[in-house]
């Protein structure tokens, strides 16, 4: 008697399939992935980079200390970021489940804690590889520095919404905690005096917990007040201005009085206790969240990111000179032309770039809503920019901006899936942003290799 499966085997000819048969010869990892795979490109690129900074950390470890090879760890981490795998736990699982990761690890299986510690320990060295890869792209002809475009994108911080507090709530909580601490101290004194034991209540621990909470709230208040003083100073305000507007020379001018004293935040202003350096910023969906303002400068030739910086300031208006300097630091040269949208418009920024050899074109308003007239006496550099944008050459140049720079930011969020930082604190977050842009560049370079 034959089964239906046996009958199919008799009538259909299949390619050989023997899952239990052992390999007659050792398997070569080079046969596991197709030629031109991204993993091979990243492996070859990392092998050509200077990794001496990684090796220097292990130079005095001795023969008994045998860490995983830094080159292998760098390849695994970069391939992870380039394919949207940022979690160390997911990376550790991929080393078993994903062929490309197994090829890069070459029989090594570092645990998730090892991967996490290596990334945290070498975060600065990993971000420094960004410069090496950009220079490599330039040597390959993928970066021309003819035209670059600059743009910013808000990326969520590694901060919990539930561990943040508004300034107004801080004022109330500060008073409440001080009253609770005073009551507990009085209760402790009464208990000591009566020599009574209250096993259900650990008064010193309760006092310490509330004092720690009070200290955190007071530190948060101080951060918000310092940020507000910085913002007020930038607006021309100063201590004791009686909420009245003044010109830069200190003379009173007409205008509505300010709603708050100098350096006093609004009640709705928030700070995070998990990542105090992050700021509340508006997202592309219209919502608000604790974020950082990530900046990219993209070369027009093959859309390689040639500068990656980051700030805790939501506004782009003061970032353009710094981004142009970052391009020069990374590539060793200035571009011929720089394009930026209206968010970068600033008389001070244009004045700072007025003497650079590159042509700078910054929009003065959103399309269809450009400012009709500019006071040339008060804003001479802005008036010059208005003339540039009025010319056919200026219009044609600026029209290229969106296609050059907005796509890479979109790829980082939609293709790589990077929408939130893993680290906390502006310095670590800045380094991780360079690591992300490095991974994006490797994908772009592999596509043109």
> Structure tokens of 78?
């970069």
Residue 11 lies in a domain: no
Co-location of 227 and 344 in the same domain:
no
Among 105-114, 171-180, 188-197, 293-302, the range scoring the smallest mean pLDDT is: 188-197
d(CA 396, CA 147): 13
Residues 18-43: tens digit of each pLDDT: 778 777 766 777 788 998 999 999 99
Note the pLDDT of residue 63: 60
pLDDT band of 271, cuts 50, 70, 90: confident
Co-location of 148 and 268 in the same domain:
no
pLDDT band of 5, cuts 50, 70, 90: very low
Average pLDDT over residues 381-394: 92
Among 66-70, 77-81, 181-185, 409-413, the range scoring the smallest mean pLDDT is: 181-185
Residue 391 lies in a domain: yes
> Structure tokens of 389?
């944008």
Co-location of 317 and 374 in the same domain:
yes
CATH of the domain at 302: 3.30.420
Among 14-28, 68-82, 278-292, the range scoring the smallest mean pLDDT is: 14-28
pLDDT at 166 over 90: no
Average pLDDT over residues 267-295: 83
pLDDT at 200 over 70: no
Residue 66 lies in a domain: yes
- Name the domain boundary from 249, 272, 295: 272
Q: Sign of the CA dihedral 192, 195, 198, 202?
A: positive
CB atoms within 10 A of CB 432: 25
More confident residue, 59 or 350: 350
Co-location of 251 and 336 in the same domain:
no
Among 29-43, 66-80, 218-232, 411-425, the range scoring the smallest mean pLDDT is: 218-232
Average pLDDT over residues 169-182: 70
pLDDT at 100 over 90: yes
pLDDT at 141 over 70: yes
More confident residue, 17 or 448: 448
More confident residue, 73 or 271: 73
d(CA 173, CA 204): 20
Residue 70 lies in a domain: yes
Among 46-50, 66-70, 257-261, 351-355, the range scoring the smallest mean pLDDT is: 257-261
Co-location of 289 and 407 in the same domain:
yes
Tokens 């990243």 -> residue: 42
- How much of the chain, in percent, has pLDDT values that exceed 70? 86
Note the pLDDT of residue 353: 94
Co-location of 423 and 286 in the same domain:
yes
Co-location of 104 and 165 in the same domain:
no
Residue 233 lies in a domain: yes
pLDDT at 191 over 80: no
Number of domains in the chain: 3
Tell me which residue range forms the domain holding 376. 142-159+282-433
Among 185-194, 301-310, 357-366, the range scoring the smallest mean pLDDT is: 185-194
pLDDT band of 377, cuts 50, 70, 90: confident
pLDDT at 312 over 60: yes
- Name the domain boundary from 272, 299, 325: 272
pLDDT band of 142, cuts 50, 70, 90: very high
Co-location of 294 and 411 in the same domain:
yes
pLDDT at 119 over 90: yes
Note the pLDDT of residue 13: 78
Average pLDDT over residues 379-399: 92
Co-location of 238 and 106 in the same domain:
no
Co-location of 323 and 303 in the same domain:
yes
The per-residue pLDDT of the chain, averaged, comes to 85
Tokens 């990326």 -> residue: 155
Residue 136 lies in a domain: no
Note the pLDDT of residue 194: 66
pLDDT at 370 over 60: no
Q: Which of 75-79, 169-173, 228-232, 249-253 has the highest mean pLDDT?
A: 75-79
Co-location of 302 and 398 in the same domain:
yes
Co-location of 173 and 268 in the same domain:
yes
Note the pLDDT of residue 174: 67
Note the pLDDT of residue 195: 55
pLDDT band of 64, cuts 50, 70, 90: low
Q: For the CA atoms of 33, 39, 42, 44, what is the dihedral angle to 10 degrees? A: -20
**Helices 426-448 & 38-48, crossing angle to 10 degrees?**
120
Average pLDDT over residues 76-94: 96
d(CA 62, CA 146): 49
- Cβ–Cβ under 8 Å, residues 262 and 240: yes
Q: Tell me the CA distances in angstroms from 372 to 7, 351, 369, one per residue in order.
A: 82, 21, 9
Average pLDDT over residues 112-139: 95
pLDDT band of 3, cuts 50, 70, 90: very low
- Name the domain boundary from 252, 272, 292: 272
Residue 71 lies in a domain: yes
Residue 6 lies in a domain: no
């Amino acid at each position: 008697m034959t089964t239906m499966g046996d009958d199919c085997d008799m009538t259909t000819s299949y390619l050989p399939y023997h899952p239990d048969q052992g390999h007659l010869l050792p398997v070569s990892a080079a046969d596991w992935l197709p030629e031109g795979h991204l993993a091979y490109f990243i492996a070859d690129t990392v092998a050509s980079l200077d990794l001496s900074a990684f090796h220097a950390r292990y130079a005095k470890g001795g023969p008994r200390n045998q860490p995983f090879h830094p080159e292998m760890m760098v390849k695994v981490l970069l391939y992870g970021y380039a394919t949207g795998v940022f979690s160390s736990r997911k990376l550790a699982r991929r080393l078993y489940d994903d062929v490309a990761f197994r090829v890069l690890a070459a029989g090594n299986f570092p645990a998730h804690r090892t991967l996490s510690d290596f990334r945290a320990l070498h975060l600065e060295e990993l971000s420094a590889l960004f410069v090496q890869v950009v220079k490599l792209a330039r040597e390959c002809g993928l970066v021309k520095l003819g035209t670059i475009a600059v743009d910013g994108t808000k990326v969520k911080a590694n901060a919990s919404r539930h561990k943040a507090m508004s300034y107004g709530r801080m004022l109330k909580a500060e008073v409440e905690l001080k009253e609770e601490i005073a009551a507990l101290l009085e209760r402790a004194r009464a208990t000591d005096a009566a020599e009574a034991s209250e096993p259900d209540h650990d008064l010193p621990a309760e006092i310490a917990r509330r004092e720690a909470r009070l200290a955190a709230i007071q530190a948060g208040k101080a951060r918000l007040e310092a940020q507000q003083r910085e913002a007020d100073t930038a607006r021309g305000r100063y201590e004791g201005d009686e909420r009245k507007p003044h010109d830069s020379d200190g003379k009173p001018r007409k205008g509505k009085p300010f709603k708050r004293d100098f350096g006093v935040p609004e009640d709705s202003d928030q700070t995070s206790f998990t990542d105090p350096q992050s700021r509340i910023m508006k997202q592309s969906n219209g919502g608000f969240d604790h974020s950082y303002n990530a900046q990219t400068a993209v070369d027009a030739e093959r859309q390689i990111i040639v500068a990656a910086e980051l700030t805790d300031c939501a506004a782009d208006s003061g970032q353009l000179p710094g981004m142009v300097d970052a391009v020069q630091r990374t590539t060793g040269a200035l571009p011929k032309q720089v394009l930026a949208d209206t968010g970068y418009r600033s008389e001070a920024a244009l004045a700072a770039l007025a003497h650079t050899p590159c042509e700078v074109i910054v929009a003065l308003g959103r399309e269809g809503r450009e400012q009709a007239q500019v006071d040339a006496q008060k804003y001479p550099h802005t008036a010059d920019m208005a003339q540039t944008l009025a010319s056919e050459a200026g219009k044609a140049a600026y029209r290229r901006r969106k296609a050059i720079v907005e796509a890479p930011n979109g790829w980082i969020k939609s293709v790589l899936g990077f929408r939130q930082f893993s680290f906390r604190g502006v310095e670590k977050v800045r380094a991780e942003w360079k690591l992300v842009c490095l991974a994006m560049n490797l994908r772009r370079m592999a596509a043109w290799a």
